[in-house]
Amino acid sequence: MPHALRKNARREEEAKFADLQARAVARLARISAPARQPAEVAKALDEFDNRSRARLVADYPALVICEEDEDTPATIVDMSEDGLRLRFARPNYLPASILIDSPAFKGFVVAEVKWQSGAEAGVAFDHLWTQRLAAPFR
């Protein structure tokens, strides 16, 4: 890989990390979070959910941090080793990478959005980004 391409890829990775870090810091700096209310029940979307891992049914409140100034309340519907399914009170547009803050986890979890349909979304955990984001807070 030519040096210029490696340098550009590195810049893009640093920009992605800076964005995730800015969202986490902004979330931590807020004095009060929106009320955590359970989302209304949506229709089952099993045809979208083709994860190969066993899933555990869950009912945890979560805040999805999409932007520096925006928290979206959600409910974690089920979880596996690789990811989880989120349910929202109403349909939401999610960016490619999100931060999830929930009592189900210790700290923030970084996830990649794999699918969205109506008021539900499936995400895959990004363990490397989560560890990198958590490092300064330890």
For 101-124, what is each residue's pLDDT tens digit? Answer: 988 888 889 999 999 988 999 999
Predicted confidence at residue 70, as pLDDT, reads 80
Kindly tell me the sign of the dihedral angle through the C-alpha atoms of 106, 112, 115, 118.
positive
Domain 3-137 fold: Thrombin, subunit H (2.40.10)
Residue 14 dihedral angles phi and psi, to the nearest 5°: -65, -40
Domain residue extents for the chain: 3-137
Kindly tell me the sign of the dihedral angle through the C-alpha atoms of 40, 41, 43, 48: positive
Q: Give residue 1's pLDDT band: very low, low, confident or very high (50, 70, 90).
A: low
Please give the structure tokens belonging to residue 95: 């960016």
Residue range 57-86: mean pLDDT, rounded:
88
Give the single-character DSSP code of 91: -
Report yes or no on whether pTM surpasses 0.75.
no
